[in-house]
């Protein structure tokens, strides 16, 4: 049985860890609230953008535009959004796993890593990292997303990459965050969406003509998706960290109560032993 | 709302917020093809925005103006939606910054070298001019 002193030392060390996880939980709760509000404010823009682009494509489905057909290159760009800091449960490893287990052949994947954790993990796994910008995730702004979009689209139009994917954590609500992998370019809009929106927009006129409008709107569409993904990823990161720290705090609580019990038992054992010794000594004398 | 009302819905959305949502009798803005003014029952049209001033006219109220830079507009008979990357009310504009940006862009355009992106400088200049214009 461990000595009283050992148990006491262990207990106090766990208590201080618990204080840290508690504080981290509070911090991420506050950050989550901020990030969630931002994510919610972005949704109308992203949704509207998606609707417009899908109705445009529904109308101009046969246009032979570079953004709508796969490039010649077999390389696939994956923009992976992770965090710069750990201690967020499975948040980062889920994204890495998602990309690693996807159908995309590893040797064809070019990673555009946002976030240090993802960068490290992808490098370790032997992925080809083409571009990285980890500062971006600290406080994503629309112009950051636009810069990222320019970078990726440049490689796309140069023919260095043929397809663009985006891996990020979708923020469903405070407790549910889904790692998501979506294809951005060439744009694929599912057939159901098209028939749904067709009625309302059949009469739509585009100015300048559809091809030029696509030229201008698709980059904005990609940027808005990047921005939406960044903002949601930040919210998810803080949500994941909050959950991780919450369970760490309650685990610490469990261990502390366990140790307290052991400590009391050890203390009682020591007292009993001392008493037995005294009594035995006294009876030996008399 | 009666059918003969001249008002229609307008919505200006930016990535950060719903900038403005309300009703208007006419809305004017700049498109890539020139300035247009839209009344109710306009034919459905999607067009690309150019940096410019958006003027919202309402019945019996003062008109509202705002600066809008790049994005696109979706016009339906009873609704106009502007998806703008940046939109600002006059009181949100930092005039000094806009003046500085204007001077910078003009300087760049004045001594053109190979290194600068003329298109970008021109766009910056236009944005600055719109800001100054709206803030007045």
**C-beta of residue A7 within 8 angstroms of C-beta of residue A235:** no
Closest residue to B85, CB basis, from A142, A206, A212: A142
- Tell whether B80 and B111 lie within a shared domain: no
Q: Which residues of B touch A38 (CB under 8 A)?
A: 16
Asked if residue B102 belongs to a domain, the reply is yes
pLDDT for residue B112: 67
- Tell whether B52 and B98 lie within a shared domain: no
**C-beta of residue A68 within 8 angstroms of C-beta of residue A186:** yes
- Tell whether B75 and B109 lie within a shared domain: no
pLDDT for residue A255: 95
Per residue in A54-80, pLDDT (tens digit) is 777 776 655 667 777 776 778 888 888
Instruction: Determine the residue among B15, B47, B76, B78 to mutate to test chain A binding: the one whose Cβ has the most chain A Cβ atoms within 10 Å.
Output: B15
Could you tell me the CA-to-CA distances from B123 to A10, A244, B68 in Å, in that order? 64, 46, 13
Tokens of residue A74, six digits: 């077999």
Per residue in A269-286, pLDDT (tens digit) is 999 999 999 999 999 987
Instruction: Determine the residue among A35, A37, A39, A44 to mutate to test chain B binding: the one whose Cβ has the most chain B Cβ atoms within 10 Å.
Output: A44
Phi, psi of A151 (to 5 degrees): -60, -50
| Exposed / middle / buried, residue A65 (Cβ in 10 Å: 0-12, 13-18, 19+) | middle
pLDDT for residue A257: 95
Nearest CA in chain A to B85: A142
pLDDT for residue B1: 45
Asked if residue B131 belongs to a domain, the reply is yes
Q: Answer whether B119 touches A (CB < 8 Å).
A: no
**Is 50 exceeded by the pLDDT of residue A105?**
yes
Closest residue to A56, CB basis, from B13, B31, B46: B46
- Tell whether B54 and B16 lie within a shared domain: yes
pLDDT for residue A160: 83
Alpha-carbon dihedral sign for residues A213, A215, A216, A218: positive
- Tell whether B103 and B84 lie within a shared domain: no
**SS3 of residue B85 by DSSP:** strand
Give the domain ranges of chain A: 42-243
- Tell whether B111 and B124 lie within a shared domain: yes
Q: Which residues of B touch A145 (CB under 8 A)?
A: 15
**Is 80 exceeded by the pLDDT of residue A131?**
yes
Question: pTM of the full predicted structure?
Answer: 0.82
pLDDT for residue A202: 56
Instruction: Specify the number of domains making up chain B.
Output: 2
Do A44 and B47 count as a contact with CB atoms less than 8 A apart?
Answer: no
**C-alpha torsion angle, residues A19, A25, A30, A34 (rounded to 10):** 150
- Tell whether B75 and B47 lie within a shared domain: yes
Nearest CA in chain B to A56: B46
Per residue in A8-61, pLDDT (tens digit) is 999 999 999 999 999 999 999 999 999 999 888 888 888 888 887 877 777 665
- Chain centre to alpha carbon of residue A195: 33
**Is 70 exceeded by the pLDDT of residue A196?**
no
CB neighbours of A101 closer than 8 A, spacing ≥ 6?
none
Nearest CA in chain A to B13: A45
Alpha-carbon dihedral sign for residues B3, B5, B6, B10: negative
Rounded CA Rg of chain B:
16
**C-beta of residue A82 within 8 angstroms of C-beta of residue A118:** yes
DSSP A107: G
Minimum distance, in Å, between the CA of residue B17 and any CA atom of chain A:
5
Q: Mark the ranges of chain B whose per-residue pLDDT is less than 50.
A: 1-2
Closest CA to A156 of A129, A186, A122, A183: A186
Q: Which residues of A touch B16 (CB under 8 A)?
A: 38, 41-42, 142
Residue B125 sits in a domain whose CATH number is: 1.20.5.440
Tell me the CATH number for domain A42-243: 3.40.1380.10
Q: Which domain holds residue B105?
A: 93-135
Helix spans in chain A (H):
4-59, 91-100, 116-124, 142-158, 191-201, 210-285
Cα(B28)–Cα(B84) distance, integer angstroms: 14
pLDDT for residue B116: 62
Tokens of residue B59, six digits: 């019945």
**C-beta of residue B14 within 8 angstroms of C-beta of residue A145:** no
Number of A–B residue contacts, CB under 8 Å: 72
Residue B34 sits in a domain whose CATH number is: 2.60.15.10
**Is 60 exceeded by the pLDDT of residue A200?**
no
Cα(B102)–Cα(B108) distance, integer angstroms: 10
Asked if residue B76 belongs to a domain, the reply is yes
ipTM above 0.85, yes or no: no
Per residue in A215-262, pLDDT (tens digit) is 778 888 888 889 989 999 999 999 999 999 999 999 999 999 999 999
The count of other CB atoms within 10 Å of the CB of residue B13 is 24
Per residue in A83-101, pLDDT (tens digit) is 988 888 888 889 999 988 8
Average pLDDT, chain A: 85
Do B46 and A204 count as a contact with CB atoms less than 8 A apart?
Answer: yes
Q: Answer whether B115 touches A (CB < 8 Å).
A: no
- Tell whether B110 and B77 lie within a shared domain: no
- Tell whether B84 and B120 lie within a shared domain: no
């Amino acid at each position: 049985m461990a000595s009283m002193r050992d148990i006491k030392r262990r207990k106090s060390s766990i208590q201080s860890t618990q204080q840290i996880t508690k504080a981290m939980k509070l911090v991420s709760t506050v950050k989550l609230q901020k990030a969630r509000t931002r994510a919610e404010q972005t949704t109308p823009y992203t949704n509207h953008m998606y609707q417009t682009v899908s109705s445009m494509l529904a109308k101009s489905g046969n246009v032979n535009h570079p953004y709508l057909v796969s490039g010649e290159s077999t390389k696939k760009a994956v923009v992976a959004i992770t965090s710069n800091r750990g201690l967020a449960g499975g948040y980062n490893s889920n994204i890495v796993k998602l990309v690693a287990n996807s159908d995309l052949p590893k040797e064809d994947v070019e990673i555009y890593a946002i976030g240090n954790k993802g960068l490290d993990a992808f490098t370790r796994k032997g992925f080809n990292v083409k571009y990285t910008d980890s500062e971006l995730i600290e406080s994503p702004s629309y112009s950051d997303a636009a810069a990222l979009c320019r970078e990726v689209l440049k490689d796309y139009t140069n023919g260095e990459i043929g397809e663009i994917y985006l891996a990020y954590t979708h923020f469903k609500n405070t407790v549910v965050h889904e790692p998501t992998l979506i294809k951005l370019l060439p744009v694929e809009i599912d057939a159901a969406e098209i028939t749904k929106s067709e009625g309302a927009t059949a009469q739509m006129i585009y100015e300048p003509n559809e091809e030029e409008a696509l030229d201008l709107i698709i980059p904005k569409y990609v940027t808005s998706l990047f921005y939406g993904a960044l903002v949601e990823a930040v919210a998810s990161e803080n949500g994941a960290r909050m959950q991780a720290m919450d369970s760490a705090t309650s685990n610490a609580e469990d261990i502390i109560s366990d140790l307290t019990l052991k400590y009391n038992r050890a203390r009682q054992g020591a007292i009993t032993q001392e008493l037995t010794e005294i009594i035995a000594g006294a009876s030996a004398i008399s | 709302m009666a059918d003969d009302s001249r008002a229609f819905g307008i919505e200006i959305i930016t990535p950060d917020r719903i900038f403005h949502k309300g009703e208007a009798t006419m809305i004017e803005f700049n498109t890539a093809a020139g300035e247009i003014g839209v009344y109710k029952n306009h034919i459905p049209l999607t067009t690309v925005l150019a940096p410019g001033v958006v003027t919202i006219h309402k019945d019996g109220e003062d008109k509202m103006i705002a600066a809008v830079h790049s994005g696109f507009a979706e016009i339906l008979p009873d609704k106009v939606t502007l998806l703008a990357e940046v939109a600002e009310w006059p009181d949100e504009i930092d005039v000094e910054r806009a003046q500085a940006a204007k001077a910078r862009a003009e300087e760049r355009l004045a001594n053109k070298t190979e290194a600068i992106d003329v298109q970008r400088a021109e766009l910056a200049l236009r944005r600055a001019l719109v800001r100054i214009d709206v803030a007045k």
